Amino acid sequence: MNEKEKMLSGILYDSTIEELSNERLNAKKLCYEYNLLKPDESDRKKEILSKLLGKAGKNFTIEPNFYCDYGYNIEIGENFYSNHNLVILDCAKVTFGKNVFIGPNCGFYTAQHPTDPIERNKLLEYAKPITIGSNVWIGGNAVIIAGVTIGDNVTIGAGSVVVKDIPENSIAVGNPCKVIKKI
């Protein structure tokens, strides 16, 4: 199994290999170009994102600045909106349902590193997918950690750090993020 296959399988891999480094560089170039576009260059924005993202609905908006590791592991549904400064570290799949709204300064981090310092210092990492359901609102400055699933019809409060799954039809807030109300 090569390092990319390991990455996509969720097992320890070496992210410094040339293939993965080149893929990240390509994504960084596309993000850079995207982030420098004028606000009225909608067609060019869609063109760049269509090259970058793995899958996207027809109706979506990602306000600059936007950053990701690979891009091809990101899937967004219809009526997706992200405010400024979205960061998606997509070493594993990051899937967003339809009607997802994301506040400014949010991060979705699939990458993880060993807690053992000897393993960590070998520059090995692993990744777990993140799944966001439909009809989800994520408040500003929220962080979603690797392996988390957020169900349909959920609101995540601003500043939350989501480290465990959040069931559908919930309002959840805090660090760590916890359900405070079922809807």
Give residue 153's pLDDT: 98
Q: Give the total number of structural domains in the chain.
A: 1
Percent of the chain at pLDDT above 90?
98
Query: Which residue range(s) make up the domain with 106?
Result: 3-182
Residues in the chain, pLDDT under 70: none
107-109/143-145 β-pairing: parallel
Q: Is 18 helix (H, G, I), strand (E, B) or coil?
A: helix
Rama region for 123: left / alpha / beta (φ>0; ψ in -120 to 50; rest): left
Active site residues: 113
Give residue 119's pLDDT: 87
**pLDDT digit string, tens, across residues 92-123:** 999 999 999 999 999 999 999 999 999 889 98
Q: For residue 34, what are its two tokens?
A: 């995207």
Give residue 74's pLDDT: 98
Say which CATH number the domain at 160 has.
Answer: 2.160.10.10
Q: Read off the pTM.
A: 0.96
